[in-house]
A and B are shown apart, each in its own frame.
Chain A
Amino acid sequence: MKREIPVLITLIAGVFCLIGFFVPHPWVRNGYQDLQNWALILVGLTYVLGVANVLRVNVDGIQNRHKDWIYKIVLVAGLVVMVVIGFAAGDGFLDASSQFSWMYRNFYTPMSATMFSLLAFFIASAAFRAFRIRSTEALLLAIAAFILMIGRVPIGNAIHPIIPASADWLMEVPQNAAKRGILIGAALGVMATGIRLILGIEKTYGSGEGGS
């Protein structure tokens, strides 16, 4: 029963959602709507679980002086301070003058943007140290990369209009063909996995074991 009941729930919910997608009758529609509401509530609860898990793992790391425990203090303090300030501000927590907005603008935004912008530095360094043209395939990759890097910015058009035109051709013909193939393949895979889940062939979600 431990296995059968979750499989049965999945089967009923899965088939009902499939029917709900195609049948607009109020009976089906209302049930479909209720199922979606339950799912939204469940997803919302996972955020609470996520926060609890972050706290459990990091507080444990601080107490037992795990590697880099000092950074865990910063993480936990940041989480607690943002939550407390947000709740204290109530419905106006996003007002431009609120303390929450001030911390969002002056801590969260620059720190997140900094992490992303570091990519430019590491890509430049990796291009110098790691991109070795040691085969015909690598040469083709390098040529395509040059055309795209120069063709996608205004300097490409200033050098010669053929550069952005070539970049567009690369993106819209060979790249698009490959991407379309990947998308179709992935969609077929998702459909197959969905059918396996609904029919109870794929049980990894319930048992913690590999699917049969």
Chain B
Amino acid sequence: MSGIPWLRDLDRRWIFLAVALLTIIPLVTGFHIAPVKPGHRAEGFYKAIEDLPAGSTVLLAGDYDPGTIAENYPAHLAAARHLFRRNIKIVAIALYPGGPPLSDQVLSIAAEEYGKKLGVDYVNLGFKSGNELVMSRMGLSIPDTYPVDIRGVPVSEIPVMQGIENYNSLALLVNISAGYPGTKEWVQQVVSRYHIPMVAAVTAVSAPEYYPYLQTKQLHGLLGGMAGAAEYEALLDEPGLAMRGMDAQSLAHVFIALMIILGNIANPPKRDGHRGPA
């Protein structure tokens, strides 16, 4: 048998150890490889918020839960900071049951940094089951869909909700999405019907799905995974969780590419005419 026997029989725990070291060392030591260069998709996200008039209100939909916290949370936090920095009011919701505490955490961190007040500058309306139905129902009336906020306070008593009736009352939809229900459903149910401008921060694996919406301008900006969040942090000039993680991610990507090459050297494939999967 051709190839390299010792490499072919390599215990996969060595691979696990290498991945662990390549991700932990840059995070712990602050070891830096290369600067983050923002792309046009992140610039679109940044510009959409930057162009909003101060005092306007946006819908911040945090449609994810702790399962994808590494990819979604940095973008969520950066977006909340950017919105408060621009003196824009936030109405937060979640279509994932595990999402509202993350929205609460993000909003309270950003609010403290920029001196914003709960109820006056932002509100967390929490989770509502129903997926696309909730999106569609909000088009008729947001206060009817969410009669109380996450703490049980009637929305009629919350200053930031005064004058908020439906999507026409909102300047922008910012969606932080882990999958379903998320960006695709918001575009299909809300953007195409109510024509509200929208930007999204999504997991890297799902990002390709939304490129057609960028081309048609149904999405004004898109942050794909932690890399997208890092580009956004670079634009904000506020290095955060994502930029700190990019060096670890760079090394992990290079290592995986190296593993494909080494795997093929250690155990060369036979070109026997079989046209199965790679």
- Interface residues of A, Cβ cutoff 8 Å to B: 21, 29, 32-33, 36-37, 39-40, 43-44, 46-47, 91-92, 94, 96, 101, 104-105, 108-113, 115-117, 120-121, 123-125, 127-135, 137-138, 141-142, 145-146, 149-150, 152-155, 157-158, 164, 168, 171-172, 175-176, 179-180, 183
Bound complex: CA A101 to CA B250 (Å): 33
A132 touches B250 (CB 8 A): no
Number of residue pairs A-B, CB distance < 8 angstroms: 189
Residue of B134, B137, B150 near A94 (CB, 8 A) is: B150
Minimum C-beta distance from A120 to chain B (A): 6
From B225, which residue of chain A is reached at the shortest CB distance? A152
* Binary contact track B26-53/A, C-beta < 8 Å → 1, others 0: 0000000111110100000000000000
Closest to A172 in B: B211
A154 vs B16: C-alpha distance in the bound complex, in angstroms? Answer: 23
B contact face: mostly helix, strand, loop, or mixed: helix
- Check B278 against A131 for contact (C-beta < 8 Å): yes
Contact present for B16 and A145 (CB under 8 Å) = no
Which residues of chain B are near A129, meaning CB under 8 Å?
A: 12, 263
**How many interface residues does B have (CB within 8 Å)?**
77
Residue of B nearest to A21 (CB): B193
CB closest chain-B residue, reference A161: B37
Whether A113 pairs with B70 at a CB distance below 8 angstroms is yes
Least CB separation from B108: chain A residue: A96
A153 touches B246 (CB 8 A): yes
Question: Does A36 contact B260, Cβ atoms closer than 8 Å?
Answer: no
B34/A183 in contact, CB under 8 A: no
Given contacts A91-B152, A179-B208, contact A158 B136 (CB under 8 A): no
Judge whether B152 and A125 touch: CB under 8 Å.
Answer: no
Q: What are 21 residue pairs bridging A and B, where the CB atoms are less than 8 Å apart in the complex?
A: A33-B137, A39-B133, A40-B134, A40-B145, A104-B101, A113-B67, A113-B69, A116-B68, A121-B16, A124-B252, A127-B257, A127-B260, A128-B15, A128-B260, A130-B263, A131-B278, A132-B278, A133-B269, A137-B275, A149-B253, A175-B211
* Contacts A40-B128, A40-B137 given; does A171 touch B211 at CB 8 Å: yes
Q: Is the CB of A157 within 8 A of B256?
A: no
Does A124 contact B257, Cβ atoms closer than 8 Å?
no
Known: A124-B256, A158-B33. A116 touches B275 (CB 8 A): no
Q: Please determine whether A152 and B215 come into contact, CB atoms closer than 8 angstroms.
A: no
The 8 Å CB contact of A150, one of B224, B230, B257, B270, is B257
Are A155 and B250 closer than 8 Å at their CB atoms?
A: yes
B98 located at the interface, meaning its Cβ lies under 8 Å from any Cβ of chain A in the complex: yes
Is A128 a contact of B253 with CB atoms below 8 Å? no
